[in-house]
A = this chain, B = another copy of it.
Amino acid sequence: MMLTIGKLGREVGVKVPTIRYYENICLLPEAERSAGNQRLYPKTALDRLAFIRHARELGFPLGAIRDLLSLADRPDQSCAAVDSIARGQLEATRARLRNLRGLEAELERMLDQCACGTVSDCRVIEALGKQPHVLLHAME
C-alpha cells in the first residue's frame, strides 16, 4: 500500500538522497513516517516524482517545476501559464543549441588544423590564445 523511499526511487528512477533533497526544498510534501521514523509514500507520490523527473530531463529548473506543480494542482485555471513556462524552456533550449553548434564548429576547425607536432606549433593552443570567433553570453 505504501512505498519506502528506496522503492519509490527505484520505480521512478530517482536516487534516494535526491528524493530527500526534494522534500527538503519543499518540492515534495513531507512524507508520512513509519513507527521507526522511515518515510512512507502513497502511490500518488509515484506520479508526482515522475513528473519532476521528466521535467528535469527536459531541462526545466526546479523553480519552474515548482510553478508547474502548483499549476497542475489547480485544474480549473487556464493553462496559459503552463504554456509560457514550457515555451520559455524551449527558447532556452534553442539558445543553448545555437551556442553549442558554434562551439562544435570552432572545436572542429581547431582540431582540423592541428598537424600534431610539438606544442610550440600546435594550432589548438594557438587558436585558444586568439580572440574568440564565437561570442557567447551564457555558457551553462
Contacts and interface: CB of A to CB of B under 8 A. Distances in A.
B120 A75 contact: yes
Interface in A74-98: 74-80, 82-83, 86-87, 89-90, 93-94, 96-97
SS of A interface (majority): helix
Given A90-B111, A107-B93, A79 B117 contact: yes
Given A47-B129, A100-B96, A90 B107 contact: yes
Interface stretch (A2-10, A14-22, A28-36, A53-61): A53-61
A51 to B, nearest CB: 5
A77 B130 CA distance: 21
Interface of A: 47, 50-51, 53-59, 68, 71-72, 74-80, 82-83, 86-87, 89-90, 93-94, 96-97, 100-101, 103-104, 106-108, 110-111, 114, 116-122, 124-125, 128-132, 134-136, 139-140
10 contacts: A54-B128, A57-B103, A59-B139, A72-B125, A76-B119, A77-B118, A79-B117, A79-B119, A82-B114, A93-B104
